[in-house]
Structures are given as structure tokens and as C-alpha cells.
């Protein structure tokens, strides 16, 4: 596969390490009252739909960017690639 | 007798004669020959024995689809089994041996299998060899493996070198026949970057095998002019002997270039093969078509070939497969063979066409509405029997029969990403539907079988592909060529009593397919697995479609509904050597050397692989004959004086930024926010699921500057995790990370005399007294008169100890300086074994305990998990399932009898309990002989271990039959109060 890196252009998938669902960005607050329940969902529950999937890839043999790759897991078509940092900021993560 | 079957003409170089040997007999051929064409030229039709029935076999084809003519090529370490004689280029001194026969090809003892054929039908081993069970492994399987099989491996290391390479292009053209050449010409003239790849050593595809003309001249003239023009274009790369074996995602193709397979051995400095990864913006599949046979009784005798192969041998290789030939066809193309062979002066005894409206060939006896019902000839075809239109049976003597059941487009690459082809009734074949994005199909591969159609389709395909890329291309003037329509009336099998072969490589007959149908293995993928149809080196290129048609007939379904099996890479076999490339032996993976490696080599160190690293395991001294002697000495020297160990391999991550402390506080389960500048703290890192991920030290060099260490094994994973936390979880924190593992050489200097030694190395401006630089202090110093260094007062051994780091290039100098400076102190280098003993004695967990399935509480470190903050893993570490009353705890184990040995992996049982999983109390994780306490010691996990100190448990190893008694003690065998390390 070729992953179009937002900063570096198309890069071979072999340069990357795969992590999994981009939902891992949405880490719950560990100090919240219902933290145990929410961390259970966060740690173990994943949707596994056919079609488009948002997933985390790490450019380990490259610039060390974590990327959110939107990929059709049936066809392997890559629809969109974003810096995970930008996605996290847009989702309200900060400090 | 030499080349008695050679005709005039052909694409061979008669000026040069090559000698070669097959089964020990010498023959002659010419450059341009394949092993198969040269053997046929010498009158040799028998080239192999079939897989299961040991039937005599000759080549069926003249190309890479060959199921039968498989030989062992070359000898010694280069011996390569299952090589297709039809594509093996002849070279001087070639040695080939037939396979799967004993004692000889002509007299094969196991041809008795042929008479046992009624027991060896599809699925026979599922049914026959069921009982008694033990016989399978001991008797049946070895016997079957000996009897059924292909060639033998050399059993020696491959002496040749294989490379990998990467190529990029605008347009990849797969196949250099008429369509591919026209496509490459179109794209090449437009200035696009073009790769034209063909599996053959002679570009031209079918044009090399036919007598058709282009612009009324032999096709060869146009092919050569086109090749010359392509060679003159700097933007076109012509790759012959190169098979595109797979179409992968996003325009990536796998290609195997056989660089020197056509030589006796590779030239020095040249690889045998190159595995290319081609990145193509667009691709055009011009892979042509493969002819398929018609099944009839005994249709597998040497001499019975595909009709197109028969005329390829005559036209391209100037070889007559026999003096009298016949042709059996259901389509017009078969008649070409008759015409060409007759023109070459071979007697065509008959053309048998199953159709009523078969065309006539002047001078050749034609049987319309007739079929071939059988054949005769033990080691090679002698005659065929024909059932005429009137129902009469006639025997016709011939040494070769060309069979044509029609042609199948070579559309495999269009299916490598789950594309499914479409059945075309008019063409009586599957044609491609779409394919991977960016790939188009032209010529016979697209079901366009005329030369005219191939030329135009190739050019138009290239122009369309380039237009997609914004490159304008004009269509070249293409030569006039035949434009014959496909005229075919499907015929898949001639029904009869005897066996009719569908898959010659796997000995699958019509009867086997019928049996599979009876036993309900009707889905095409089930049929394949039940009968082995379409497996092995040829992947059923000539067998699949006829078998699908037979199954369709049996089920009463149209072929379109039966469908094909899924085609997967590789298109033709790829050797493991090519897939491995240079990554074999010592080059299998990177080999990382520590800064003191060369020094340690000079000391005679024994090394051990730790991940990619080579680390000194111990340093034998003269007179030491057993590793334990060396390790015991190193341990005692460290505990009594001072020892040095290279610990560069530990991961070292530099953490900087105004929020670095806050970042680390969330990363480690224990508090890091309040760590003072100039101090080090042990850090425990959890996974989000609450298990321990890694441990190490966190040193604060400045308010906004930390250096953290990881275990050697987890250095990469921890860094990746930290970047994940930084970029994905807390992108607003001001913190930067970089791995400095390779930047700093780091040594552990441990033992009561370590301070005395370091005072001789560290520049006098730095006070190393216990007051000025206490336990867990850290800071920048200079050594050896001004070299910048970092000093950490940390201890893995339990002794007064330091770790000292210098820029990596000074590591070798530092170890030499330390050893020289400490000679009178008894300084002793130690390796990983001693490191292990020292940490087991002190009870520090390492990889055996941090195995990804243990919690902080299991390790006795539960109190480190701060509940006052939200750090990775803290929430789930508190869940019920990880905090049960029976949870395991890390304990120390001391044998009651000092002579007893404790073994890793042994299980802990209570006195008197049965030894089984239900009564298991825990297990031993680490053990060693402790020279400090004078006997074996162990660490292990024990249920409620923290509350069982003093209890006697059994340490049971049912594998070795040992069962000893040990006392549960605290996991620390040296200085439990920590006086030494604070001294």
C-alpha cells in the first residue's frame, strides 16, 4: 500500500507501524466518576464495520508522525490522511 | 543421433552448438532453445513422471503454464527441483534430471500406482489411511510422500545471491507481445516513463510462435524495428526474463527478474534473480492467453500437446514433435497448427474438428463432427482413435497430437484484488472485468484474440492510461495484421470409460471431478481442495477452466454460475531465495554492536544476541572451563570490588519542554511531577489495560529536560507509545521527544569500589562524595579532562553503583580508561549473565517477570500506582479482575537442600497436593546459582505470595521429573535494607 503522508507525500506502507482504530485518540478522563466503565469501552470495544475505517498509523521509519488514515478496508482505497495531532486538537484534546 | 527432429528456420542461433545432459545422456541444442525444445529436437518426448500415478509425461505446452515437463535443473547446491523444461533456457553444460521416478524414467517401479488408480481417487488419503491412527505419521505419510511428489531439494545452502530493487514508472506494460509492444511504443513516444516486462527471454509474445505477417512481411521485422526504437528511448525500460507475479494495492507490482538463470552460474558480482517492487501510476495487462486442452481417454501421453505449442515448437524453435502429427480442435485456431506444420514439411495425418462447419485445409485430411476418443503408446504417443461423424472408430498413427479447446485470457492479475472475471458465451472463455484501480487490459488478455485487435488495443490502452495522467499521446501507425474472428464450439471432454485428464500436474481426471460432485464438493473452491485441482507449480493454468466446465455440466449450471477459484499471487513460482533477497544468514536482520564491542572482543568475551544487539554474555579468563566459573567470579568481583557492564542497549529517550514533567507524570503510574532536578526515580509504565508495559529510570537533568530509560527489548515500542501519547492524547503539551539510544555509550559501574574508580575518571571539579552525589543523584559531569558525560547514581545490582554515559564515539575510549584506571581496584568487566544473577539476587523484575501479563500488584509494586492522578493504565489496573484475593505475587524461592537446582518454568505446588493445573500455585520466572548466598535461588509468582513467607512449597518440573522443596522468602537475597547502595 501507499499512504499519502500529509507532509511527505506518498510513502510505502512498509515504513509505517499500524496501531488500530483512531478511536484510541478519544481517551476518557481517568478522574471522572464513571472512568472504569468508560475505560472498559475505550480499551476493549471496537466497531468493525466493512467499508471506511479510521485508523492510526505511525511513520516509524520516517518522520515519526502519527497519522489518521481513512481507509476502505474492503478495497484498501485510502480516502483521507491527516496528522493525528491535528485530529486530536480538532476533537478538543489539548493539554 | 543428433537433433533429428530439427526443421529449417526458427529463432535459434545455429552458428553456436550447446551441449547438455538429460538423465546422464548428452545432447546438443542451440542458443534460443529451451530445455524442452532441445530435447524434442533430439527426439526426446518423455521428460517426467506424473505426481500420483507416475504416468510417463512429456511437455504439454511451450511456456510457463507447463504442468508436466518438470525437471531438476543443475546439480549440487544449485540443484533446483520442479523447473519447467519449457521455460528453462539452454546453456552450455546444462545438466537436468528427471524426477519422481525410480530406477529410471522409462522403467518406473511406482508406475504400479497407475494400476491402483481406483484406490487413489480424489480425497483418497482422507478415506484410506484413517486407521490405525498411529500409522499415519509413522507409515502412511512418509510412504505417500516418497511415492507422490516432485523433485528433491539439494539440501544445501543456495550459493547464489538474490537482490531486491524498486522501480517507478508512469505506465507498466505487462507482456511484450503485439499488444504490449504497441502500448510501449505509444507511451514511449509520448515521453512517459515506461516499463515493459515480459517473462520470456525473447520479446514478441505469440508473434515469435506464429507465421502471421505484419504489413505483408514476417512479423519479426516489425518486432525488431519496434524493439530497436524502444531501446533508443531513454524513458523506456525493457525487462525481459521478468515475470510480473502479483498486482498489489495502489499500483504496486511484484516482479521477478531472472537475471542469470540462463547461465550455468551467475557472473561474479551479479545476482541470480532480482525481486522488483514496481510502483506504477498506471498499468496495462498485455499478458496474452493460454490454450486449454480437451479431455479424452489417455490424453496425457508424451506427444499429446496443446496445438499452439506444437506450432510454436515448429515455428520458433524449428522442432517437429513428431514426423506424423494430428490435430484435435473445437475452434479455428487449431487449424493454424495444421497449416503451419504442413508448411514446415511435417505430415499432418488428420485434423479432427468437433464442429460440423470446420474449415478445410488443403492437403490435410479433415474429420468434421469427429472426436478423439483415445490414444496408444506406452512411453509416447503412437496412435489415436477417432470417432467419426458417422460413429465409426478409426485408428490414426501419429507421434504427436495438437489439441485445442480454445484459449483463456491470462487475466490472473486482474483478480489479485478480488476481481472476478465474466464468462463470455461467444468466446467460450472467462474475460476480465475491471481489475485493480489503474490497471487496464489489452489484447488476448482482454479477450481480443486477433493480431489486429491486439495491436490497436495495446496502443489505445496506453493512450487512455496516459490521458488519465495528463500526458497526451498519439496513436502510432500500426501494421496491417490478420483480424480473424474467434470461431469456437465449446467441447470440454470426450466421454469414455477410461481416465481422461483435466489437471495433468496433479493427476486429476474427469472421474475425480465426478466423484467430488457425488460427494457434494461442488463449489469450485471445494472442488479444488478436495481434488487438488489447480494447485502446485502451474496453478492449473491449463486445467482450471475445463474442470469448471465439467463441474458445470454435472451440476447442470451454466459455467458463469460455477465461477472460477480466486487467483492469487504469484502468477508463476517465485523462489524463496528471491523473496529472502539479501536477508539471510548473518544479514537476516540488523546486527547492532555496543560501543565496547571491539574492546570486549579483544577480551575474549562470549556474545549473545539480545534483539538486534550483540552483548557480551561473560568474559572467560584463562583456566575457566565452564561459563559458571566466569559468571561466579564476575558476580563476586562486583559485590566485593567493582564491575563494569555495557548498558548502552537500554533505550534512552530524551524528553524536553516546559510540560515535560507533566507529560511523564501521565506516562508513568508513579509520580514524576515533583522529581527534583538532579535526581533519578524508578519509573513503572503501564499499558492502558492495567498491565505493566515497561520499567526504567527517569532522570531530571533540568527543569525542562529529562532522560528516561527503557528495557533493551522495549526501546522501540516505548518510544512509539510515548509519541502516541504526545501527538494523539495530549497534543497541547509543550514536550519534545527523541531517541538517543545510539547517541550515548553507557556503562554500569557497580560495587563497593565504584566511587573510588569513578573519582579517577570524573574530573576533580565534580564532588562524588555520598553527601554531594547521593543515591539517585544525576547530573552532567566531565571525564578524562573535559569530555562531557552524564552520571547517574542508580543500581540494578544492589551495590553502590553508577551509570556513566559519554557520547557514543567515546565509548570505546571510556571502557579502556575505566579498565586501566581500576586495575589495582580489581575492576572486572561483566556480561549479561552476571547482570542477570545480580538482579535476581536483588529481586529486580526483568523480562521474565515483565511479560505483559503481570500487574504492578503482582510484582509487589502495587503501592507505586498513584490514585491521585490520571496516568496511562491506572484506571483499568484497579478493576476487579486484576485485584482478586488469590492473585499472584512475586516471591523469592530458596531450596531447602542447598544442592537442589531451581529451574525456570517449574510450577509451585503445595505439600501433598496433586500435580495438576487445578492445584497450581504459581511458577518460577527466574533462577540462578547465587555465588553470594552459595546456592540456587529463584524468583517466581505465587498465589497470595506476599502472605506466605516462610512456607515450604514444592517446585515441580514434570518434564524433567524433578520435585524439590523450597522456602518462600522475600524477593531479595542481598542487602534487603539497601545499606550498600546508599553507602
Q: How many domains does chain A have?
A: 1
* pLDDT higher than 60, residue B1: no
Parent domain of A46? 2-90
Q: What percent of chain B has pLDDT over 90?
A: 92
Whether B805 has a pLDDT exceeding 70, the answer reads yes
CA dist., res. B529 & res. B468, Å (int):
41
The DSSP 8-state label assigned to residue B825 in this structure reads G
The superfamily in CATH containing domain B651-739 is Aminomethyltransferase beta-barrel domains (3.30.70.1400)
Residue B717 near chain A (CB below 8 Å): no
pLDDT at B758 over 60: yes
B336's CB contacts (< 8 A; 6+ apart) are: B210, B307, B311
- Of B127-141, B547-561, B693-707, B937-951, which range is least confident? B127-141
Residue B543 above 70 pLDDT? yes
CA distance readout (Å), B251 to A61, B170, B415, B840, B868: 21, 10, 14, 54, 52
- Give me the count of residues in chain B: 983
pLDDT at B283 over 70: yes
B773 pLDDT higher than 90 = yes
Q: Do A94 and B720 touch (CB under 8 A)?
A: no
Contacts of B731 in chain A (CB under 8 A): 85, 88-89, 93-94
Q: What integer pLDDT is reported at residue B177 of this predicted model?
A: 98
Q: Report the gap between the CA of A8 and the closest CA in chain B (Å).
A: 17
Q: What's the pLDDT tens digit per position in B79-133? A: 999 999 999 999 999 999 999 888 888 888 878 778 777 777 777 666 665 666 6
Q: Check residue B112 and give its pLDDT.
A: 79
**pLDDT of amino acid B132:** 67
Q: What is the nearest CA distance from B581 to chain A, expressed in angstroms?
A: 16
CB contact under 8 A, B728 and A31: no
Strand B194-197 to B162-174 pairing: parallel
pLDDT band, residue B32 (cuts 50/70/90): very high
Q: According to the model, what pLDDT value does residue B114 have?
A: 83
- The neighbour count for residue B673, using CB atoms within 10 Å, is 12
Q: What is the pLDDT of residues A15-38, one digit of tens each?
A: 999 999 999 999 999 999 999 999
Q: What radius of gyration do chain B's Cα atoms show?
A: 37
DSSP letters along B893-940, please? EEESSTT----TTPEEE-TT--SSGGG--EEEEEEEEETTTTEEEEEE
The answer to whether the Cβ–Cβ distance between B728 and A24 falls below 8 Å is yes
CATH code assigned at A62: 3.30.2270.10
Task: Flag if A94 and B249 touch (Cβ within 8 Å).
Answer: no
Q: What is the pLDDT of residue B256?
A: 98
- pLDDT band of residue B136 (cuts 50, 70, 90) is low
- The whole-angstrom separation of Cα B698 and Cα B864 is 14
User: Is residue B974 scored above 90 in pLDDT?
Assistant: yes
Find the closest chain A residue to B660 by CA distance.
A95
Locus of grid cell 514496481: B278
CATH topology of domain B162-288+430-468: FAD/NAD(P)-binding domain (3.50.50)
Pairwise CB contact (< 8 Å): A93 & B870: no
Nearest of B533, B537, B600, B585 to residue B562 by alpha carbon: B533
Is B724 within 8 Å of A43 when comparing Cβ atoms?
no
Answer whether A40 sits within 8 Å of B876, measured CB to CB.
yes
Chain A touched by B738 (CB under 8 Å): no
Over residues B178-186, mean pLDDT: 98
User: Residue B811 in 3-state DSSP?
Assistant: helix
pLDDT reported for residue B145: 64
What spatial distance separates the first Cα and last Cα of chain A, rounded to whole Å?
A: 34
Residues B266-294, mean pLDDT to the nearest whole number: 97
In terms of CA atoms, which chain B residue is nearest residue A42? B688
Domain boundaries for CATH 2.40.30.110 within chain B? 883-982
In this complex, the residue of A1, A60, A84 whose CB is nearest that of residue B728 is A84
- Cβ distance A95 to B878 less than 8 Å, yes or no, reads no
Q: Assess if residue A55 is contained within a domain.
A: yes
Q: How confident is the model at residue A90 (pLDDT cuts 50, 70, 90)?
A: very high
Average pLDDT, chain A: 96
For residue B212, pLDDT beyond 90: yes
Q: Do B688 and A39 touch (CB under 8 A)?
A: yes
Closest CA to B344 of B314, B375, B368: B314
pLDDT in tens, B381-423: 999 999 999 999 999 999 999 999 999 999 999 999 989 999 9
Say how many C-beta atoms besides its own lie within 10 A of residue B698's C-beta: 25
Cβ atoms B326, B384 nearer than 8 A: yes
Quote the pLDDT of residue B133.
67
Average pLDDT over residues B152-179: 96
Name the superfamily (CATH) of residues B883-982.
Answer: Aminomethyltransferase beta-barrel domains (2.40.30.110)
Q: What is the Cβ-side half-sphere exposure of residue B46, based on CA atoms within 13 angstroms?
A: 19
* Interatomic CA distance for residues B310 and B444, integer angstroms: 19
The CATH number of domain B18-113, selected from 3.40.50.11900, 3.10.20.440, 3.40.50.360, 3.30.70.890: 3.10.20.440
- The half-sphere exposure of B844 on its side-chain side, counting CA atoms within 13 A, is 22
Cα–Cα separations (whole angstroms), residue B667 to B610, B719, B811: 26, 11, 30
pLDDT digit string, tens, across residues B625-659:
999 999 999 999 999 999 999 999 999 999 999 99
Q: Is residue A95 part of a domain?
A: no
Give contacts of A83 with chain B, Cβ < 8 Å.
727
- Among B438, B688, B691, B728, pick the best mutation site for testing chain A contact (most A Cβ within 10 A): B728
Domain with CATH 3.50.50.60 in chain B: 162-288+430-468, 293-405
* A→B interface, C-beta within 8 Å: 1-2, 12-13, 17, 19, 24-25, 27-31, 35-36, 39-40, 42-43, 56, 58, 60, 64-66, 75-78, 83-85, 87-89, 93-95
Class of domain B293-405: alpha beta
The complex's ipTM works out to 0.99
pLDDT at A86 over 90: yes
B729 closest CB neighbour out of A1, A43, A93: A93
Number of helices (H), then strands (E), in chain B: 24, 50
Q: Are B503 and B547 in contact (CB under 8 A)?
A: yes
B899 backbone dihedrals φ, ψ, rounded to 5°: -80, -15
User: Among the residues of B451-604, which ranges form H helices?
Assistant: 451-468, 510-518, 524-531, 544-555, 559-562, 576-580, 597-602
* Model pLDDT, residue B109: 80
Beta-bridge partners for B194: B171, B236
Q: Determine how many CB atoms are found less than 10 A away from the CB of residue B85.
A: 27
Q: Which residues contact B541 (CB under 8 A, 6 or more apart)?
A: B64, B65, B67, B290, B408
Interface with A, mutate which of B435, B875, B881 (most A CBs under 10 A): B875
Q: Which residues of B touch A78 (CB under 8 A)?
A: 250
The CATH superfamily label for domain B592-649+743-830 reads Probable tRNA modification gtpase trme; domain 1 (3.30.1360.120)
Residue B103's pLDDT is 82
Taking 90 as the threshold, does the pLDDT of residue B199 lie above it? yes
User: What per-residue confidence (pLDDT) applies to B245?
Assistant: 98
Instruction: Indicate yes or no: CB of A93 within 8 angstroms of CB of B730.
Output: yes
Length of chain A, please?
A: 95
> What's the average model confidence in pLDDT over B153-161?
93
The mean pLDDT value of chain B amounts to: 95
B824: Cβ contacts below 8 Å, ≥ 6 apart:
none
Chain region(s) in chain B for CATH 3.10.20.440: 18-113
Is B658 an interface residue toward A (CB < 8 Å)?
A: no
Q: Compare CB distances from B731 to A17, A76, A85 and report the shortest one's residue.
A: A85
Q: Which whole number is the average pLDDT over B675-694?
A: 98
Whole-number Å distance between alpha carbons of B459 and B473: 9
Amino acid at each position: 500500500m501507499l499512504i499519502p503522508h500529509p507532509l511527505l507525500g506518498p510513502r510505502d506502507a512498509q515504513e509505517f507501524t499500524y496501531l488500530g482504530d483512531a478511536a484510541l485518540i478519544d481517551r476518557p478522563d481517568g478522574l471522572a466518576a464513571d472512568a472504569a466503565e468508560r475505560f472498559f469501552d475505550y480499551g476493549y470495544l471496537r466497531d468493525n464495520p466493512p467499508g471506511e475505517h479510521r485508523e492510526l498509523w505511525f511513520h516509524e521509519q520516517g518522520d515519526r508522525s502519527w497519522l489518521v488514515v481513512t481507509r476502505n478496508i474492503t478495497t484498501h482505497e485510502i480516502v483521507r490522511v491527516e496528522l493525528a495531532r491535528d485530529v486530536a486538537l480538532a476533537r478538543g484534546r489539548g493539554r | 543421433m543428433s537433433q533429428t527432429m530439427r526443421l529449417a528456420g526458427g529463432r535459434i542461433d545455429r552458428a553456436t552448438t550447446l551441449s547438455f545432459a538429460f538423465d546422464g545422456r548428452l545432447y546438443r541444442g542451440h542458443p534460443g532453445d529451451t530445455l524442452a525444445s532441445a530435447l524434442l529436437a533430439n527426439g526426446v518426448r518423455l521428460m517426467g513422471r506424473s505426481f500420483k500415478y507416475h504416468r510417463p509425461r512429456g511437455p504439454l505446452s511451450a511456456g510457463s503454464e507447463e504442468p508436466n515437463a518438470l525437471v531438476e535443473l543443475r546439480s549440487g547446491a544449485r540443484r533446483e527441483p520442479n523447473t519447467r523444461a519449457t521455460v528453462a533456457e539452454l546453456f552450455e553444460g546444462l545438466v537436468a534430471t528427471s524426477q519422481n521416478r525410480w530406477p529410471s524414467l522409462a522403467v518406473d517401479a511406482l508406475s504400479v500406482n497407475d494400476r491402483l488408480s481406483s484406490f487413489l481417487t480424489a480425497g483418497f488419503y482422507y478415506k484410506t489411511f484413517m486407521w490405525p491412527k498411529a500409522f499415519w505419521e509413522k507409515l502412511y505419510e512418509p510412504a505417500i510422500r516418497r511415492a507422490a511428489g516432485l523433485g528433491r531439494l539439494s539440501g544445501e545452502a543456495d550459493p547464489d545471491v538474490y537482490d531486491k530493487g524498486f522501480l517507478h514508472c508512469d505506465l507498466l506494460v505487462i507482456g511484450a507481445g503485439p499488444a504490449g509492444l504497441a502500448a510501449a511504443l505509444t507511451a514511449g513516444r509520448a515521453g512517459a516513463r515506461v516499463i515493459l516486462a515480459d517473462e520470456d527471454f525473447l520479446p514478441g509474445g505469440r508473434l515469435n510462435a506464429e507465421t502471421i505477417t505484419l504489413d505483408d512481411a514476417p512479423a519479426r521485422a516489425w518486432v525488431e524495428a519496434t524493439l530497436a526504437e524502444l531501446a533508443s528511448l531513454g524513458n523506456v525500460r525493457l525487462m525481459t526474463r521478468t515475470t510480473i507475479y502479483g498486482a498489489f494495492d495502489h499500483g504496486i507490482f511484484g516482479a521477478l527478474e531472472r537475471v542469470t538463470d540462463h547461465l550455468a552460474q551467475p557472473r561474479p558480482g551479479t545476482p541470480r534473480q532480482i525481486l522488483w517492487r514496481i510502483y506504477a501510476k498506471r498499468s496495462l495487462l498485455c499478458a496474452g492467453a493460454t490454450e486449454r486442452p480437451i479431455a479424452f481417454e489417455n490424453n496425457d501421453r508424451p506427444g499429446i500437446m496443446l496445438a499452439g505449442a506444437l506450432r510454436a515448437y515448429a515455428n520458433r524453435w524449428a522442432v517437429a514433435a513428431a514426423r506424423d502429427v494430428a490435430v484435435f480442435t473445437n475452434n479455428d485456431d487449431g487449424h493454424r497448427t495444421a497449416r503451419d506444420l504442413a508448411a514446415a514439411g511435417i505430415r499432418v495425418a488428420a485434423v479432427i474438428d468437433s464442429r460440423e462447419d470446420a474449415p478445410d485445409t488443403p492437403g490435410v485430411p479433415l474429420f468434421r463432427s469427429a472426436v478423439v476418443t483415445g490414444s496408444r503408446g506406452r512411453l509416447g504417443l503412437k496412435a489415436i482413435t477417432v470417432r467419426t461423424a458417422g460413429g465409426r472408430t478409426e485408428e490414426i498413427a501419429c507421434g504427436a497430437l495438437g489439441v485445442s479447446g480454445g484459449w483463456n485470457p491470462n487475466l490472473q492479475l486482474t483478480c489479485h484484488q478480488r476481481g472476478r472475471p465474466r464468462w463470455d458465451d461467444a468466446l467460450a472463455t472467462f474475460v476480465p472485468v475491471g481489475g485493480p484501480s489503474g490497471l487496464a487490459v489489452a489484447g488476448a488478455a482482454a479477450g481480443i484474440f486477433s493480431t489486429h485487435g491486439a495491436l490497436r488495443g495495446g496502443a489505445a490502452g496506453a493512450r487512455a492510461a496516459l490521458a488519465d495522467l495528463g500526458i497526451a499521446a498519439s496513436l502510432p501507425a500500426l501494421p496491417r495484421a490478420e483480424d480473424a474472428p474467434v470461431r469456437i464450439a465449446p467441447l470440454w471432454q470426450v466421454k469414455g470409460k477410461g481416465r481422461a485428464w483435466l489437471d495433468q500436474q496433479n493427476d486429476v481426471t474427469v472421474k475425480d471431478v465426478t466423484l467430488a460432485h457425488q460427494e457434494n464438493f461442488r463449489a469450485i473452491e471445494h472442488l479444488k481442495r478436495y481434488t487438488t485441482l489447480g494447485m502446485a507449480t502451474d496453478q492449473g493454468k491449463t486445467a482450471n477452466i475445463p474442470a469448471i466446465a465439467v463441474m458445470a455440466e454435472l451440476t447442470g449450471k451454466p459455467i458463469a454460475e460455477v465461477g472460477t477459484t480466486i487467483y492469487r499471487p504469484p502468477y508463476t513460482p517465485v523462489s524463496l531465495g528471491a523473496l529472502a533477497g539479501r536477508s539471510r544468514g548473518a544479514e537476516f536482520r540488523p546486527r547492532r554492536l555496543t560501543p565496547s564491542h571491539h574492546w570486549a572482543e579483544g577480551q575474549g568475551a562470549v556474545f549473545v544476541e539480545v534483539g538486534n544487539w550483540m552483548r557480551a554474555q561473560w568474559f572467560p579468563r584463562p583456566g575457566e572451563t565452564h561459563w559458571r566459573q566466569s559468571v561466579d567470579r564476575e558476580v563476586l568481583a562486583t559485590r566485593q570490588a567493582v564491575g563494569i557492564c555495557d548498558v548502552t542497549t537500554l533505550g534512552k529517550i530524551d524528553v524536553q519542554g516546559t510540560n515535560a514533567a507533566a507529560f511523564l507524570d501521565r506516562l508513568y503510574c508513579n509520580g514524576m511531577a515533583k522529581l527534583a532536578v538532579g535526581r533519578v526515580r524508578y519509573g513503572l509504565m503501564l499499558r492502558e489495560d492495567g498491565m505493566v508495559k515497561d520499567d526504567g529510570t527517569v532522570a531530571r537533568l533540568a527543569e525542562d529536560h529529562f532522560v528516561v530509560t527503557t528495557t533493551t527489548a522495549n526501546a522501540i515500542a516505548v518510544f512509539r507509545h510515548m509519541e502516541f501519547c504526545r501527538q494523539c492524547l495530549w497534543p497541547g503539551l509543550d514536550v519534545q521527544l527523541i531517541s538517543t539510544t545510539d547517541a550515548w555509550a553507557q556503562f554500569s559501574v557497580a560495587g563497593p569500589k565504584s566511587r573510588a574508580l569513578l573519582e579517577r575518571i570524573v574530573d576533580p571539579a565534580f564532588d562524588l562524595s555520598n553527601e554531594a552525589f547521593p543515591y539517585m543523584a544525576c547530573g552532567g559531569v566531565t571525564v578524562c579532562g573535559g569530555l562531557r558525560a552524564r552520571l547517574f547514581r542508580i543500581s540494578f545490582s544492589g551495590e553502590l553503583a553508577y551509570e556513566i554515559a559519554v557520547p557514543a564515539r567515546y565509548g570505546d575510549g571510556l571502557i579502556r580508561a575505566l579498565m586501566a584506571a581500576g586495575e589495582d581496584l580489581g575492576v572486572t568487566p561483566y556480561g549479561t549473565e552476571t547482570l542477570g544473577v545480580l538482579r535476581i539476587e536483588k529481586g529486580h523484575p526483568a523480562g521474565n517477570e515483565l511479560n505483559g501479563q503481570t500487574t504492578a500488584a503482582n510484582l509487589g509494586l502495587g503501592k507505586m500506582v498513584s490514585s491521585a492522578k490520571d496516568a496511562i493504565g491506572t484506571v483499568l489496573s484497579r478493576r476487579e479482575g486484576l485485584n482478586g484475593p488469590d492473585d499472584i505475587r512475586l516471591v523469592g524461592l530458596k531450596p531447602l537442600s542447598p544442592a537442589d537446582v531451581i529451574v525456570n518454568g517449574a510450577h509451585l505446588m503445595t505439600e501433598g497436593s496433586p500435580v495438576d493445573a487445578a492445584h497450581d500455585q504459581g511458577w518460577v520466572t527466574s533462577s540462578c546459582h547465587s555465588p553470594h548466598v552459595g546456592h540456587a535461588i529463584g524468583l517466581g509468582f505465587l498465589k497470595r505470595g506476599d502472605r506466605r513467607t516462610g512456607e515450604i512449597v514444592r517446585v515441580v518440573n514434570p518434564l524433567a521429573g524433578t520435585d524439590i522443596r523450597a522456602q518462600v522468602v522475600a524477593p531479595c537475597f542481598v542487602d534487603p535494607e539497601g545499606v550498600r547502595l546508599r553507602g
